[in-house]
Amino acid sequence: MKHLQAALKAALLAVALNATPTLAHEVHLSQQTTQAVLLELTYADGQPFAFEAYELYPAGAEMPAQVGRTNAQGQLSFVPGKEGQWRIKAFSGDGHGMDQMLQVQVSPSGTQSPPSQETDRPSRIILGLALILALFGAYQLWGRYKKRSATP
């Protein structure tokens, strides 16, 4: 009986001594309200770039600081900690996506930038059309000039 009690005490002691490393296998959750940056990725027609893979890198870093998938609204959020440049890479399996730098600002009141290229899209369309017509027009004029100068 004494041997059994001694063995039981030894077992309890071992459990007590190993209690801290055992607890390290648990995952703890804490919650806090803080300043985060919300990014929203959309296709050109405004459809969300939803459930697609992304990687976030601090400027110059080789390893991403955050990886994951956008949510159903094409959004992702991260806590930059301080102002600076970040690089975002986002991919879909069909080759859509982006790889670009962004300047992150931390302000208590929060800031919002307009979606890139959305505000002046019509003027870009018109500029592209004008460039096409101007290039072909110049080619036509050059052809006429060459033809005229070749004629004796």
Partner 1 sequence: MHIPDGFLAPQTWIPAAALAAGAWAWASRNLRERLDEQTVPRLAMMTALAYGLGLIMVPLPGGTSGHALGVALLALLFGLRPAFLAYSLVLLLQSLLFGAGGITALPVNALAMGLAGSATALILFRLLRPLHEPAAVVIAAWGSVMVSALLVALVLGAQPWIAQAADGSPRFFPFGWAVTLPAVLIPHALIGLGEGALTLLVWQYARRRRWMTP
Under the binding rule (CB under 8 A), the answer on residue 7 touching partner 1 is: no
Comparison of 6 and 134: residue with beta carbon closer to partner 1: 134
Under the binding rule (CB under 8 A), the answer on residue 11 touching partner 1 is: no
In the block, tokens 């033809």 appear at: 147
In the block, tokens 């050059």 appear at: 142
Angle at 41 between CA 40 and CA 46, to 5 degrees: 105
Taking CB under 8 A as the binding criterion, the range among 5-13, 23-31, 106-114, 132-140 that sits at the site for partner 1 is 132-140
Under the binding rule (CB under 8 A), the answer on residue 75 touching partner 1 is: no
Q: How many whole angstroms separate alpha carbon 92 and alpha carbon 95?
A: 6
Residue 110's contacts (CB-CB under 8 Å, 6 or more residues apart) are: 35
Q: How many whole angstroms separate alpha carbon 94 and alpha carbon 90?
A: 12
In the complex, least distance from residue 35 CB atom to partner 1, rounded to whole angstroms? 28
In the complex, least distance from residue 9 CB atom to partner 1, rounded to whole angstroms? 48
Q: How many whole angstroms separate alpha carbon 145 and alpha carbon 60?
A: 52
Taking CB under 8 A as the binding criterion, the range among 14-22, 30-38, 76-84, 95-103 that sits at the site for partner 1 is 95-103
Bridging pattern class, strands 84-91 and 66-69: unpaired
Under the binding rule (CB under 8 A), the answer on residue 43 touching partner 1 is: yes
Residues near partner 1, by CB under 8 A: 43-45, 47-48, 50-51, 53, 62, 89, 91-100, 116-117, 121, 124-125, 127-129, 131-133, 135-137, 139-140, 143-144, 146
